[in-house]
Chains A and B, each alone.
Chain A
């Protein structure tokens, strides 16, 4: 255990050294005086006193061992020596630091992108249970197709292995009606979109089912970023009317920032509206929106998927007209589920993983390079190390100093690498 006293001696070392020297000198003077009074010359008295006392430097070393924290003082001395040593060979130091910086920086940058875009989980409760539902017609070669409103309503009513279903689509709209008009991207969502994800509103409320009819859908929910950028995070923004694409919309709420991580940057949400006609059987095949759903806890994806397939087949078998029944199954319709994160990152995942593997190989190469540089340097320093050993340094002390030097290089390389990664991202 390190006591307070010992810690304090680290900071007042010069003063303590002076005091110790003074004290020992006083002791020697006292001894010398006694010898002088016994009849010796001053010269002889001093020598006799020194003989009585013992080796002064050795005694001082032993005192220094008793005081202070030896390993800390040694570490500090090693740091200063290593700095000097590295400064004297600037080319070597630069080569090692630059190599490490490039390797570490590249890896950091690539991994940051990989993590942010592919590996990071969605910021919602139980994100593994959030899935995308889509039609698949493998026989006609169409692997992924969007679903219809009729399917959405059907599953919402009958699929009991699911908690919620939601339908959404993109919605482009204009803000402003003169030459400064901007075209922005928003989302049309059914009210349970927010429940599938599980994100309560920051301000105000979300849509109701009644607002999903044409004519009743003149309400919008802002995203948090848009609210902060264009409305200065004003809490009185609720019930304000804005004109979008020549229609008046009322702002009824603000959605939290977490929702912006699901799909690429919508600016606001409006209700997904459909006509009564859209629910009739011919419209079952239309690709009207993307469907997200939340599976109940503990239910496996395969089982949930099978339930949807069953529901779809049940609908088909209930259709009276055989021709219509046939067309419903064109291409071998299959319902498929996939976790939302995985579905979204599918296109870029392989590419990013390959990039990360490449960066890792670069890191390995860089390490080999640095190792050979340090070996060459060690060879050149053999004389220096031999001299230090002859002067009394133990192998442990030498090893410690070399370790400190390597540590300094690693630290410098790492810091430069972080700076590089930060600048490139």
Chain B
């Protein structure tokens, strides 16, 4: 997965992370698992590359970090979607859907 530097282009990794956090807060490993699971095993994220994206989203105020206990009874850093994050997720989902529909239409024509 390539890293998107500019925040004018919707980085798809950012969008996937926001989606993975939609239902409940998760830690880094949990987010990677969730993306893997939601994509029916197709998308395998290079685990480390999550972190620059996570910290970027945190700096933008779309997710919030908090301390918690993982399922293995260890201390871990959990990320939770903020209200701004939810709004951003909706916006990005809508944008993505519109883009892919248009591209599909172009590709479908002979």
- The interface-forming segment of A53-61, A74-82, A303-311 is A53-61
How many of B's residues come within 8 Å of A, CB to CB?
20
Question: Is A424 interfacial (CB 8 A cutoff)?
Answer: no
The A-B contact count (CB < 8 A) is 63
The contact of B59 among A3, A26, A31, A59, by CB within 8 Å, is A3
Flag B7-50 by CB within 8 Å of A: 1 or 0 each: 00000000000000000000111000000000000000011110
Contact at A27–B28, with CB atoms within 8 Å? yes
Contact at B59–A54, with CB atoms within 8 Å? no
3 A-B pairs with least C-beta separation: A54-B48, A59-B48, A62-B52
Alpha-carbon gap, A33 to B73, bound state (A): 13
Within 8 A of B (CB), among A1-48: 3, 5-6, 19-20, 23-24, 26-27, 29-31, 33
Within 8 A of A (CB), among B47-62: 47-49, 51-52, 55-56, 59, 61
Q: Apart from A58-B48, A62-B49, what are 16 other A-B pairs with CB-CB below 8 Å? A: A23-B27, A26-B27, A26-B28, A26-B77, A27-B47, A29-B74, A30-B29, A31-B29, A33-B72, A52-B46, A54-B47, A56-B48, A59-B52, A66-B52, A66-B56, A66-B59
Contact at B49–A66, with CB atoms within 8 Å? no
Question: Is B3 interfacial (CB 8 A cutoff)?
Answer: yes
Alpha-carbon gap, A30 to B72, bound state (A): 9
Give the secondary structure class of A's interface: helix
Question: Is A393 interfacial (CB 8 A cutoff)?
Answer: no
How many of A's residues come within 8 Å of B, CB to CB?
25
Q: How far is the CB of A48 from chain B (nearest CB, A)?
A: 11
Contact at B55–A31, with CB atoms within 8 Å? no
Question: Is A277 interfacial (CB 8 A cutoff)?
Answer: no
The contact of A52 among B47, B55, B70, B75, by CB within 8 Å, is B47
Which residue of A is nearest B61, CB measured? A5
**In the complex, what residues of A have CB within 8 A of residue B3's CB?**
62
The contact of B77 among A23, A31, A62, A65, by CB within 8 Å, is A23
Contact at B52–A65, with CB atoms within 8 Å? yes
Which residue of A is nearest B77, CB measured? A23
The contact of A54 among B28, B46, B76, B77, by CB within 8 Å, is B46
**In the complex, what residues of A have CB within 8 A of residue B29's CB?**
26-27, 30-31
Question: Is A67 interfacial (CB 8 A cutoff)?
Answer: yes
Alpha-carbon gap, A391 to B70, bound state (A): 40
Contact at B77–A66, with CB atoms within 8 Å? no
Q: How far is the CB of A354 from chain B (nearest CB, A)?
A: 60
Q: A23-B77, A27-B28 are in contact. Are A6 and B51 (CB under 8 A)?
A: no
Question: Is A184 interfacial (CB 8 A cutoff)?
Answer: no
Question: Which of A6, A24, A58, A62 is the most central at the interface, judged by chain B CB atoms within 10 Å of its CB?
Answer: A62
Q: A19-B77, A33-B72 are in contact. Are A24 and B59 (CB under 8 A)?
A: no
Contact at A26–B74, with CB atoms within 8 Å? yes
Contact at B59–A53, with CB atoms within 8 Å? no
Alpha-carbon gap, A58 to B49, bound state (A): 9
Within 8 A of A (CB), among B78-102: none
**In the complex, what residues of A have CB within 8 A of residue B72's CB?**
30, 33
Contact at A30–B70, with CB atoms within 8 Å? yes
A-B contacts, 9 listed (Cβ < 8 Å): A52-B46, A54-B47, A54-B48, A56-B48, A59-B49, A62-B52, A63-B55, A66-B55, A66-B59
Q: How far is the CB of B32 from chain A (nearest CB, A)?
A: 8
Within 8 A of B (CB), among A107-145: none
Question: Which of A24, A27, A59 is the most central at the interface, judged by chain B CB atoms within 10 Å of its CB?
Answer: A27
**In the complex, what residues of B have CB within 8 A of residue A5's CB?**
59, 61
Q: A23-B76, A26-B74 are in contact. Are A53 and B55 (CB under 8 A)?
A: no
Question: Which of B3, B27, B46, B48 is the most central at the interface, judged by chain A CB atoms within 10 Å of its CB?
Answer: B48
Q: A19-B77, A26-B74, A62-B3 are in contact. Are A31 and B47 (CB under 8 A)?
A: yes
Q: A30-B72, A33-B72 are in contact. Are A63 and B52 (CB under 8 A)?
A: yes
Alpha-carbon gap, A148 to B27, bound state (A): 99
Q: How far is the CB of B78 from chain A (nearest CB, A)?
A: 10
Alpha-carbon gap, A5 to B59, bound state (A): 7
